[in-house]
Amino acid sequence: MVATSSDRAAVGGGHWIACTKAADLGCNWLVPEEQRDQAGRGRCLADSLIRREPAADDTIAVEKLVSTAVDLRRLTCQLLDLGLTVDPFWRTPGGLAFDLLSSYSAGEQIIIGHAGGVITIDLAESLDAHRESLRVRLGEPYRTMLGHFRHEVGHYYQNLLVETGAGVRYLEECRELFGDERADYQAEIARHYKFGAPEKWTDSFISEYATMHPWEDFAECFAHYLHITDTINTVRESGLVLLADRTRIAVPRDIVPLESYADAPIEQLLYDWKWLALFFNRINTAMGKQPLYPFEIPPPVIRKLGFVHKVIRHRAMTPGALNPA
């Protein structure tokens, strides 16, 4: 992290300038000066992923765009930290793009989703009352803008990490865990909304939404992997630990988040998370809030998260797979 009081800085022998979206979106990222006139138009990597946005005179939507862009930057930072490729649409056909639009100003409902690298997000969901009403109506325990970003980008990375290129080596294993993604998507959605989730779905899925189709199961697990790893990283960076001899919950041992879980089995990541989540859930309860992480992780989901962990680490360790400078 670099602190600067001007719109430029010298870092690591290079010259950097403020993202050109600093004024419009409150961006605090820097961009290599030589990229000022390239296709990204001087925008930081995260903001350059925005393909469509509300008109400048749509003041309500633009206000929500600013707060939503914060979530996009957090997502981008985490993807890079995990060693994943973040290849923008303006650089590569089919690359990652975000259409950040609003149902309130578009004159039609904006459907949140992913298609061919383009992720559409409804800015109206940044309005707490609107998002909460949807959460209650759909019976969801958790619904946030950052959660939407993490879920939808899971669809993008399933294609990138499993269904194409070198990742196809994992395709059969993916189908064994999540189901066959070739199942008719529209038919499966229709079935879900007509009959609901299967009985005892909690034995095998992280959420009801995950039961809809194998793609949705993967995306939900990918999102939860991002939830868990980002929260644990924040705990570590904050210096927080759970000391077994100081807590009033039966923690078998001290919980000290690792510097990195890249080489650790998924079971270690989820063991640490189990106790940290319990701790944070109690804090939320003390403030009269809903649990921070209101989910149970059954053994089949542990295996699914382990698969996500594996394919992410494979991409991060593959020469040439990291994000281009």
Asked, for residue 112, whether it belongs to a domain, the answer is yes
If asked whether residues 131 and 171 sit together in one domain, one would say no
| Of 37, 2, 4, 5, the residue nearest 20 (C-alpha) | 37
If asked whether residues 303 and 188 sit together in one domain, one would say yes
Asked, for residue 271, whether it belongs to a domain, the answer is yes
pLDDT digits 0-9 by tens, 16-51:
999 999 999 999 999 988 777 665 678 999 999 999
Which of 87, 104, 139 corresponds to the end of one domain?
A: 139
Asked, for residue 2, whether it belongs to a domain, the answer is no
pLDDT at 5 over 70: no
Task: Tell me how far apart the alpha carbons of residues 187 and 191 are, in angstroms, rounded to a whole number.
Answer: 6
DSSP annotation string for 53-94 = ---TT-HHHHHHHHHHHHHHHHHHHHHHHTT----BTTTSTT
If asked whether residues 201 and 257 sit together in one domain, one would say yes
Q: What is the number of domains present in the chain?
A: 2
pLDDT digits 0-9 by tens, 52-86:
999 888 888 888 999 999 999 999 999 999 999 99
If asked whether residues 124 and 198 sit together in one domain, one would say no
pTM, two decimal places: 0.93
- Determine the average pLDDT of the residues in 86-93: 95
- Strands lying side by side in the sheet with 14-18: 8-11, 14-18, 30-32
If asked whether residues 219 and 306 sit together in one domain, one would say yes
Asked, for residue 247, whether it belongs to a domain, the answer is yes
pLDDT digits 0-9 by tens, 210-257:
999 999 999 999 999 999 999 999 999 999 999 999 988 889 999 999
Identify the domain containing residue 123 by its residue range. 18-139
Task: Tell me how far apart the alpha carbons of residues 132 and 142 are, in angstroms, rounded to a whole number.
Answer: 9
Asked, for residue 169, whether it belongs to a domain, the answer is yes
If asked whether residues 185 and 308 sit together in one domain, one would say yes
| Of 204, 232, 228, 233, the residue nearest 304 (C-alpha) | 204
pLDDT digits 0-9 by tens, 109-160:
899 999 999 999 999 988 777 788 888 787 788 889 999 999 999 999 999 9
Outline where the chain has alpha helix (H): 22-25, 45-48, 59-81, 103-106, 128-138, 145-158, 171-178, 185-195, 214-238, 266-286, 299-317
Based on C-alpha coordinates, what's the Rg of the chain? 20
